[in-house]
Structures are given as structure tokens and as C-alpha cells.
Amino acid sequence: MPHILIRQAEPADAALILRFITDLAVYEKAEDEVVATVLDIQRSLFSEGANAHA
């Protein structure tokens, strides 16, 4: 069985998080709805007073 590691996301993960969001949007046929950038993800999840957490 492969080893699985679950950890908190870090700012360096922002591009991967955006890819997950985009991949889901493609699957849901809503790719045009994704307007976020890597910087948006970093700000939303990792800045002072972030309004979401990963």
C-alpha cells in the first residue's frame, strides 16, 4: 500500500491548488468560470487575515 501523507497546504502549493480547482471546473464543464490566479489563491489562503484555510 502506498504511503499517504496529509499535511496543511503551504504558499508553495498555490499553483497545485489552482490546478485542482481548474481540473474540477473542466470536469464540470465550467472552465470559463475560473478567474482566480495563483496570487489570488496565495492571498486568499495564506495572507494575514486570510478568509479561507487549506
Q: Residue 1's pLDDT band (boundaries 50, 70, 90)?
A: confident
- Per residue in 4-54, pLDDT (tens digit) is 999 999 999 999 999 999 999 999 999 999 999 999 999 999 999 888 887
Amino acid (one-letter) located at 29: K
* Predicted local confidence at residue 44, as pLDDT: 93
Distance CA 44, CA 39 (A): 8
Q: What is the pLDDT of residue 23?
A: 99
How far is residue 3's CA from residue 47's CA, in Å, rounded to a whole number? Answer: 31
Range of the domain at 50: 1-54
Q: Which three three-digit cell numbers place residue 9? A: 497546504
pLDDT value for 30: 98
Phi-psi region of 53 (alpha: psi -120 to 50; beta: other; left: phi over 0): beta
Q: CA angle at residue 23 from 22 to 27, to 5 degrees?
A: 115
Q: Name the domain count of the chain.
A: 1
